[in-house]
Amino acid sequence: MEILAYGVQADERPLLETAFAGRHSLRCLSVFLNRDTAPLAAGYPAVSSSVNAELDAGTLAALAAGGTELIVQRSTGFNNIDLDAAAGLGLTVARVSHYSPYAVAEHAWALALAVNRRLTRAANRSREFDFRLDGLLGRDIHGMTVGVIGTGKIGECFARIAAGFGTELLGWDIAPNPACLDLGLTYTELPELLSRADLVSLHVPLLPSTHHLIDAAALARMKEDAILVNSSRGGLVDSAALVEVLRAGHLSGVGLDVYEEETGVFFTDQSIQGITDDTLARLVTFPQVLVTSHQAYFTRTAVGQIIEATVRNVDDFAAGRRNGNVLVPGN
């Protein structure tokens, strides 16, 4: 099959090309898939999209009109895809159901440690030969109460690392994870977790029920010197409310690998023209905030597994097979 891959990162491209070599014809583009770029796929029976693609009804209609039959997204999340519209157009849509949970959990801890110990500020000072310790006072992770919101595979990995630090573990989810219970994690209601935790990390999917799960009321429940980490989906946090909380001097650290309006910004170079998103611009100015560009998944192990699953999705479609990654079976 001929495949057009959108949103391919420079480090990802050789891995994709090697994986598809000798199996399917692959063309890689750095631009993201949306209504404006969908016409580029005309004549391609399959397209591969990245997590920041905008697969709304209009984009899907343009793909279908150009002859596309298969969409394989290189991510687990699919909240950016209008599945009902895809079904109505007869498109087959598949994703990557899982990849290394360690990649995301480890990055979440990297964010937590960095904001706790003020590493960004310290590194910036060192480059200017300023070696003072003023304003760099952190806290021991050992002995903290850590709240894990979402205790699936990634949340479990995050909890295992937390247990290694010697923390008290609290969890919130729709169902308990026996592995987390074995770690000594105690499940609580969300308000209690937020009020007791010194560090809160988010690991739930973005659903209508979890949109702005961390809103103004939730932020108000958190300790004044708490740390908040989000490496899951940007829409879990009400960003405007977060800015107001930070303006009031609440929260000692915030680590964000995702942002609710990241599409069209993350994975791109905005250094020359700047950004027009006032909320994001404000967030990155707070000294206790660290923002990374949706890179928690970006390890050789995880990307390799994502590509393997993507190749398998294309192979199975070409052979008339359906696997567990299919979200919409098509016609």
Domains 2-99+299-329 and 101-291 share a fold: yes
pLDDT (0 to 100) of residue 263 = 86
User: Is 142 noted as a catalytic residue in this protein?
Assistant: no
Q: Is 262 a catalytic residue?
A: yes
- What confidence score (pLDDT) does residue 330 get? 82
Say whether 139 is catalytic. no
User: Given this model, what pLDDT does residue 211 score?
Assistant: 97
Superfamily (CATH) of domain 101-291: NAD(P)-binding Rossmann-like Domain (3.40.50.720)
Please tell me the predicted confidence (pLDDT) of residue 264: 85
Q: Which CATH superfamily is domain 2-99+299-329 in?
A: NAD(P)-binding Rossmann-like Domain (3.40.50.720)
Residues (pLDDT < 50) of the chain are none
Alpha carbon dihedral 285, 288, 289, 295, in 10-degree steps, equals 130
- Given 74, 107, 118, 294, the catalytic residue: 294
Give yes or no for a contact between 66 and 39, defined as CB atoms under 8 angstroms apart: yes
Helices (H), the chain: 13-20, 57-65, 83-88, 101-116, 119-127, 153-165, 178-182, 190-196, 216-221, 239-247, 278-283, 300-318
Q: Which entry of 118, 233, 250, 260 is annotated as an active-site residue?
A: 233
- Note the Cα 3 to chain centre separation in Å: 25
Each domain of the chain, given as residue ranges in start order, spans 2-99+299-329, 101-291
Name the token pair of 72. Answer: 């394989």
